[in-house]
A and B are shown apart, each in its own frame.
Chain A
Amino acid sequence: MWQRLSFYDVRVVGHYLGVLLLLSSLGLLPPLCLAILFGEWNAASRYLLTAGIMLTAGSVLRFLRIQPGRLSRQQALAVTGLAWLVVAFFAAIPLHLSGHYTSYLDALFEAVSGLTTTGASVVSDLDHLAYSDNMWRFMMHLMGGLGLVVVGISFGLFGKGGASLFSSEARSEHVVPNVVQTARFIGRITLVFIAISTVLVGTLCLQIGMEPARAFLQSLWVSISAFMTAGFVPMSQNIMYYHSIAIEFTLVLVMLMGCVNFMLHAEILKGHTKAFFDDLEIRSTVVWIAVIVIVFMASLAGSRLFSDLPAMVRRGLFMIFAAFTTTGFQNITTTQLTDFLSSGAFLVIAILMAVGACSGSTAGGIKIQRIGILVKGVVATLKETLAPDSARVVASYRHVGRRMVTPELVREATTVLLLYGSTYIVGALFGIANGYEASQAIFESIAMASNGGITSGIVVPGMDWQLELFYLFEMWAGRLEFVTLIAVIIQIVVSATPSSFVGWLHVRRSERERKAGE
């Protein structure tokens, strides 16, 4: 029996969606200020209008329930699942009005891509985009990378219902027992890394001759994008625009910091370096990257263009880390990616995005930890098969201490793996049905569902709307690691059936009769 949303639930969910909308409207302040500072008056008026619309809509939604009370787990799932889409609908308004998007759907795609930190862009003429519009694109990365709900919790907006919300946003681990403190810790760590990266990349941008204002803004934006493992860039030539190995190297480090579990950041800060190096995910990552680098380089050696060592190291390693962290930066063109890389190297990039990086970080994909747990589970099953009947096989792994590989953990990992896998396949079939090459369609589907964002050329301005809608769904589902979203969809479907509506009317009539009797 599926649990339905009652009318009370809908009102509470609406109230909290309004709260999140009001909070998200604060994100419009930096682009608005930047627009005023640089005399981008057209953009300034757009951001003021959007702020007004979001304030109004958010306030109206809050009227649905004046005293919402504590959020139940069911309501928290609905709030988290719907927040990403509701905020994206409003976030797309200034982008659409900028004239750099062929349709509102393109602007919505960009907003969802920004909030889910996918980083695939359908903007036209990016090089002439206003500073304020760029700032908004990267603010979406910042809010989405941290998690809309995490940001809300860190401001203490959800009261006691924060814990349910926190776990429903693909973040099950608490750095400290208090969920508000955990959210604030994540925010602080993020701001510190972005600040350090901005100084480093900004200095390098000044060295290569960029104007100070542009150097600062672009370094801030790419730093946000790198730490959030997102992928938007301010120039159409992507990271190749800077022609600087030093910038590429710095961004690789920042991307790697972004894809590490926030709990491990906390352990490092506490001085527990052993916990970091003993961690299942870190060890698995080292092995995984070592294997991939060997395979990728061997494959690249056979390609026509990147077979010489300097090109192989510079382009190859950067692309490996950009794909592994699901950031999606590129220092090669789309043509080079699809036409000049060997098919093996192309496939390796897709596999890297599909697997993703560490859990509890800003990265997307299936996550190394789940793969590690599944491998441990397989080994435990084999041991159990070979062991005598009286023996009891226990599998464990290290993640901030010793933990057991329980059947529940294996089941959760298997479920997520299957959901990701099936979405990759369905997305690929959708692409193939739209007339694209199979390899290209598979690559693009993985890039969307894993929030990797490296595009093989299907995601372009004015693309087919059906495919665009499906990719939009893939990004949304991938960011929430499917379970939350599927739960929300089921809730909505079962709650929207005629029988439930009749039931609701019946309850309302009885309430009215009871009140009249009183």
Chain B
Amino acid sequence: MANASNTWGTLRAALFSLLCAASLSLALPMLAWADDQAKPSNESEGTADSAIEIDDENAVEIDGETNRVDPTQRADNSFIYDTTIDSLFSQPSLYDGKIVQVSGEAIGDIVVEDPLRRKNCWITLTSIDSANPATISVFMSREQAAQIDHLGRYGVTGSIMQIRGIYHQACPEHEGTPDVHATNTAVISRGSEHPDMFEIGDFVPGAVAVLVGLILMGVYYFIRERSR
């Protein structure tokens, strides 16, 4: 009797094990699929998930029980700051060492970094918003600079470029220059030329004034010679 009951118990255990194995084999692919689907949205939270073990000594509780922040957690470097040149100029510490994305007009000249190798160069970008003027030096490859069709100067509007790269408030590689080391560059608007048109009418007031001045000079010399 005891043997029969033992055999039955063993069979039940084996049957239960089989059921568990079957359910697990079905559940695991489902979980893996669900994880794959959820990956993009979880990516930005990845650091938070991995840093979920908050040191209770340093943890700060905000608004009750659930919102907890870790003050020892360092700033996230992988974030891209879409900002303006003026902001880089006015708040350099905020963006130092971060990946930034700025847009501005390419002006002046393409200045090569090393006149012998001519591999990399400097471009000066000026802010598009005239109310907040500022400029920034952008360090990039010659290939990236070749995208520029016009450089801004008098009578020329330069290409509007969008630059993504690491901002330095005082670049250690370039003896303290505030710059952006570009990783991605794109021309978002082509430059254009708008030369001055020659209008003869614009010169009439000047010509009249010069003529009056010369006549007065002549009269002065005439009177001076007569008074001698």
Chain B associates with chain A? yes
Interface residues of A (CB under 8 A from B): 22, 39-56, 58-60, 62-63, 66-67, 124-125, 127-131, 207-211, 214, 235-237, 240-244, 305-306, 308, 310-311, 314-315, 332-333, 335-336, 339-340
CB pair B126 A306 closer than 8 Å? no
**Cα distance A210–B172 when bound, in Å?**
25
Given contacts A62-B220, A128-B152, contact A48 B210 (CB under 8 A): yes
B122 at the interface (CB under 8 A from A): yes
B121 at the interface (CB under 8 A from A): yes
Most buried by A among B122, B137, B176, B197: B176
Q: List, in ascending order, chain B residues with CB within 8 A of A333's CB.
A: 89, 178
B154 at the interface (CB under 8 A from A): yes
CB pair B224 A66 closer than 8 Å? yes
What is the distance, in angstroms, from B217's C-beta to the closest C-beta of chain A?
A: 5
**Cα distance A491–B119 when bound, in Å?**
64
Given contacts A56-B212, A314-B175, contact A128 B154 (CB under 8 A): yes
What is the distance, in angstroms, from B215's C-beta to the closest C-beta of chain A?
A: 8
CB pair B109 A214 closer than 8 Å? yes
Chain B contributes a number of interface residues (CB within 8 A of A) equal to 58
Given contacts A40-B154, A66-B227, A305-B176, contact A52 B213 (CB under 8 A): yes
Given contacts A42-B196, A52-B206, A240-B177, contact A131 B213 (CB under 8 A): no
CB pair A243 B107 closer than 8 Å? no
CB pair B111 A125 closer than 8 Å? no
**Cα distance A62–B217 when bound, in Å?**
9
CB pair B206 A66 closer than 8 Å? no
**Secondary structure call for the A interface:** helix
**Secondary structure call for the B interface:** mixed
What is the distance, in angstroms, from A328's C-beta to the closest C-beta of chain B?
A: 18
Q: List, in ascending order, chain A residues with CB within 8 A of B198's CB.
A: 39, 41
Q: List, in ascending order, chain A residues with CB within 8 A of B207's CB.
A: 48, 52
**Cα distance A340–B170 when bound, in Å?**
9
What is the distance, in angstroms, from A158's C-beta to the closest C-beta of chain B?
A: 16
Q: List, in ascending order, chain A residues with CB within 8 A of B155's CB.
A: 39-40, 130
B92 at the interface (CB under 8 A from A): yes
B208: nearest chain-A partner, CB-CB: A52
Q: List, in ascending order, chain B residues with CB within 8 A of A48's CB.
A: 203, 206-207, 209-210
CB pair B205 A209 closer than 8 Å? no
Scan residues 37-96 of chain B and give those whose CB is less than 8 A from a CB of chain A.
89-90, 92-93
| Choice from B174, B203, B227 contacting A45 with Cβ under 8 Å | B203
B36 at the interface (CB under 8 A from A): no
CB pair A127 B107 closer than 8 Å? yes
Q: List, in ascending order, chain A residues with CB within 8 A of B223's CB.
A: 63, 66
